[in-house]
Amino acid sequence: MVSESFPDPHPRRLLITGGAGFIGSNFTQYWCENYQSDRVVVLDALTYAGNPQNLANLKARDNFHFVRGNICDRPLVDELLKTEAIETIVHFAAESHVDRSILAPDAFIQTNLVGTFTLLEAFRRHFPRIAENNPLFLHVSTDEVYGSLNPDDPPFTEMTPYAPNSPYSASKAGSDHLARSYFHTYQIPTVITNCSNNYGSYHFPEKLIPLMCINILLGKPLPVYGDGQNVRDWLYVLDHCRALETVIHRGKPGEMYNIGGNHEVKNIDLVKMLCAIVDELASDLPVRPSEQLITFVKDRPGHDRRYAIDATKIKTELGWTPSVTVEEGLRKTVRWYLDNRHWWQPLLSEEYQTYYQKLYGNSVL
């Protein structure tokens, strides 16, 4: 996707954390395509969710540097900020899956809280070196920090009180509070974005949309939690990247910006839409129509009923709106998973099967 151009006379020096994950790699690709003079350094621990293949095409570029490392490693972060003269941090690195946070919350506290603290503290110490260079710490967060909405509640605004319900969202909420406090206490220019559910290419197979898409292609059951009536607001990942770009150029330090697609869909309706699209686009399906694979399974504990984003602030103050409809975005996404079996097939590893068995039991094998 080509950027609408922002006047940006000086090349930037960015550190992108979590740049080998789903949104981070889409953003890194987007940035490298549109800002070829910028220096881009990616720091990623390559957990199960990070995949160096997502950035393989960038390796040969002079102004791109990939570092495998942990955001909790303070000496490494200090060294990178200094030697690379970083003035913009775009912080994606996180443990991001709610179900994994229920099975094993420890890593969420470590990466999301301690890792964000480590980055903020390193950036604070580094700040005097780059204070004149338009510095920014962009903390990429989630709408899940606001908790759950009832069917008739108005969507989340930036004024909605935080009420996280899972270890994942609680750890993200804590990291948001840390980012906010570094602005108010130390005048470090932090900006927080709270985005709704993303979907698109390079999405790890265990999240709802890629999971359903791949299971349809394999003829496996499609596990829908509870009654399938939970609502999510879906945003195509490149629209999120464009929103973050807009915030980098026009966002005001100390502010929060909600980002959403204005596309609320019930899970069961979304799964049925996906079934219809895959049935249409794929020629050799083991089970057709694929809707017959839908299997209702035990609900996720503490499952938030509904998320919805009011994105008025980013629209009116910064001029961003989503550009891809759910129908269009889902078709692009299905097409990508059809064309990129070589990307996702190796990810269905033994480790993935162990996780799958632990989460779903025997009901959907």
Instruction: Indicate which residues carry an active-site annotation.
Output: 143-144, 168
Task: State which of residues 26, 51, 88, 230 lies at the interface with ligand DAU (CB under 6 A).
Answer: 230
Q: Are strands 231-236 and 264-266 parallel, antiparallel or unpaired?
A: antiparallel
Q: Report which residue type is found at 156.
A: F
Task: State which of residues 91, 139, 207, 242 lies at the interface with ligand DAU (CB under 6 A).
Answer: 207
Task: State which of residues 14, 34, 35, 44 lies at the interface with ligand NAD (CB under 6 A).
Answer: 44
Judged by beta carbon, residue 98 or residue 243, the one nearer ligand DAU is 98
Q: In whole angstroms, how close is the CB of 45 to ligand NAD at the nearest point?
A: 4
Q: For ligand DAU, which residue has the nearest CB?
A: 142
18 binds, among ligand NAD, ligand DAU, none (CB under 5 to 8 A by kind): ligand NAD
Interface with ligand DAU, residue 258, by CB under 6 A: no
Interface with ligand DAU, residue 88, by CB under 6 A: no
Q: Per CB under 6 A, which of residues 11..30 are in contact with ligand NAD?
A: 17-18, 20-24
Residue 19 has a CB neighbour count (10 Å cut-off) of: 30
Contacts 24+ apart (CB under 8 A), 81-85: 81/15, 81/122, 81/123, 81/126, 82/126, 82/129, 84/13, 84/15, 84/39, 84/41, 85/13, 85/129, 85/130
Q: In whole angstroms, how close is the CB of 272 to ligand NAD at the nearest point?
A: 20
Q: Report which residue type is found at 357.
A: Q
Task: State which of residues 71, 130, 214, 278 lies at the interface with ligand NAD (CB under 6 A).
Answer: 71
Q: In whole angstroms, how close is the CB of 47 to ligand NAD at the nearest point?
A: 4
Q: What is the 3 state secondary structure string of 137-173?
A: EEEEEEHHHHCCCCCCCCCECCCCCCCCCCHHHHHHH
Task: State which of residues 40, 50, 126, 224 lies at the interface with ligand NAD (CB under 6 A).
Answer: 50
Q: In whole angstroms, how close is the CB of 253 to ligand DAU at the nearest point?
A: 23
Interface with ligand DAU, residue 101, by CB under 6 A: no
Name the nearest CA neighbour of 352 among 305, 108, 360, 2: 360
Q: What angle do CA 198, 47, 107 make, to 5 degrees?
A: 90
